[in-house]
Amino acid sequence: MKNWIKIITKRSAVFVALCTITLISACSKDGNPNGLPDANPAEYARKSNPGVIKILAIGNSFSEDAIESNLYELAKDKGIKVIIGNMYIGGASLANHRTNAERGTPAYEYRKIGEDGVKKNTTKVSLEQAIQDEQWDYISLQQASPNSGQLETVQKDLPAVYNYVKSKATNQNVKYAYHSTWAYAPTSTYSAFANYNNNQTTMFNAITNVAQKIESIVPITLLIPAGTAIQNARTSALGESYNVADGYHLNALGKYIAACTWFEKIFGQSVVGNNYNGGFSSFEVKVAQNAAHLAVLKPFEITSMSTYEAEPVPLANPVLVDFGNATPSATWNQMSGYTVGSKVNLKDTKNVFVGMSLTITERFNNINTNGATGTTTPLNMPDNVSSRNFYGNARGALFNGIVTPKGVIEVAGLIPTLNYSFSFFGSRDASDNRETLYTVSGTNTGSASLNPSSNKTQIATVENIKPNAQGKITISVTAGPNNVSSNGWFYLNAAKITSN
């Protein structure tokens, strides 16, 4: 009897063990054919990739601008392996993300740059799917730009989005970031700009006010001040050079600045000196990298970059200057200020900064819009350039309350060992002789003149002027000896500068 009991006991144990193995196996099979409870998701979580930094942004087109270009390459230059994800819905706000999280809506385009640098886009993805696709090291949140400076909108929806993301993250050591975005260009016509009285400074201050309060709303680890970096760069010689035509999305250089800011905050090392240049000139890279670095150092205030200048270079291509136009013309530098101190930093016709600048040291009277159109000169001017000018009145009765004996422009950033040549165009709808004299002075001096009255064909050229030891030349514009107008009217519409 005892032997039978032993046999039955052993067989029962084997049967129970087999049943247990079968149940565990069934629980772990996809499709769950036996209708058993789901297996523990942790069994299937994507394994961590040692040595690879994984970054996920939950955002919109502004996160697209910031991380889908350049960030991978900046990291690669420093030997840093990355995976970058962007959960994209155009214009998505925190309220949108909150709704999508609560409903599990697969509304996103999941844009993922793999370890190999190849980007793959997948549509109809939910937040949960993307969050659990990798053991993310960093997950970034942001507000849509129309509300980026409206604190109450962030306070309302950010905690819910943060809590949802945290509940789904598979990396217990994940760090959370807040992407503080940029103010619009002053010329933006986007309707949301009215939220900030159509004022860039007002918008920037509102955004940084939100940024300063983020840590009191959710416990983030990193604030990424991309907007401050853009604002810093706007104080440089590059000016408003970072937005596309809509005035709020970033152009290629703006995207590079934003990515530089992300690089420095995520990886904890200065981006200044990074060898990846994004195809930009050395001066543009210098401004971009330093704008980002300065923003990381002072995320809530603008740091002036007015002292950043391009290094002087020989002119491989001509420099063209349009006097009196605020509207850009392709390949032309616009100088719209005619009073003392007005300054423009110059690019050549290939859009490369050449280290040169023009500064008004003696003012012109004003701007005239009655120059010739349909001109035929070696300058190949569009009508937008030839039809406007700086003008002055060298003598006679006051005009606009003043007499301007001459207008003087200082050209700086020249190479003292080179010779420079200048061609000038002046034009005004008139019939009398308004001869204008252009004098160019460095270590030597040269002059040339023309009659601007209804001029469509003539230019005045001064050749082979050598800068002084400081790399400067002055241009003086005044009435010529044959000028018969009672006010001594003189004009400067355009100029071309070349070097030997």
pLDDT digit string, tens, across residues 351-387:
888 999 999 999 999 999 999 999 999 999 999 999 9
For residue 133, what are its two tokens?
Answer: 């696709």
Strand partners, 311: none
Nearest Cα to Cα of residue 339 among 313, 319, 365: 365
Nearest to 140 by CA among 158, 116, 114, 117: 158
Q: Give pTM, 2 decimals.
A: 0.72
Q: pLDDT band at 239, cuts 50/70/90?
A: confident
Q: Which tokens in the block code for residue 220?
A: 């983030």
Residue 239 CB partners (closer than 8 Å, separation 6+): none
- Categorise residue 214: left if φ over 0, alpha if ψ from -120 to 50, beta otherwise: alpha
The contacts of residue 382 (CB under 8 Å, 6+ apart) are 329, 330, 332
b/e map 159-191, b = 16+ CB within 10 Å:
ebbbebbeebbbbeebebbbbbbbbbbeebebe
User: What number is the average pLDDT over the span 230-249?
Assistant: 90
Query: Which residues are within 8 A (CB) of 119 and not within 5 positions of it... i.e. 6 or more apart?
Result: 68, 111, 112, 113
Which of 159-168, 217-226, 243-252, 429-438 is predicted with the least confidence, judged by mean pLDDT? 243-252
- CA dist., res. 452 & res. 434, Å (int): 6
Residue 2: predicted pLDDT: 41
The Cα–Cα gap between 491 and 390 comes to: 6
**pLDDT at 216 > cutoff 80:** yes
Position 20 pLDDT exceeds 60: no
pLDDT, average across residues 22-35 = 38
| Predicted pLDDT at 48 | 61
- What 3-state DSSP class applies to 225? coil
Note the pLDDT of residue 238: 87
Whether the pLDDT of residue 31 is over 80: the answer is no
Task: Take residue 368 and report the two structure tokens written for it.
Answer: 């005239």
What pLDDT score does 85 carry? Answer: 99
At residue 47, the pLDDT reads: 53
Alpha helices (H) along 343-446:
383-386
Residue 43 has pLDDT above 60, yes or no: no
Residue spans per domain, the chain: 52-297, 319-499
What is the third-level CATH fold of 319-499? Jelly Rolls (2.60.120)
Q: Give the span between the Cα atoms of 17 and 11, in whole angstroms.
A: 10
Mean of the per-residue pLDDT values of the chain: 91
Place of tokens 């970059």: 305
Torsion from C-alpha of 66, 70, 76, 81, nearest 10 degrees: 30
Decide yes or no: CATH 3.90.930.60 for domain 52-297.
no
User: Tokens representing 293?
Assistant: 């670095």
More confident residue, 8 or 338: 338
54 token code pair: 């994984």
Give me the mean pLDDT over the 22-33 stretch: 38
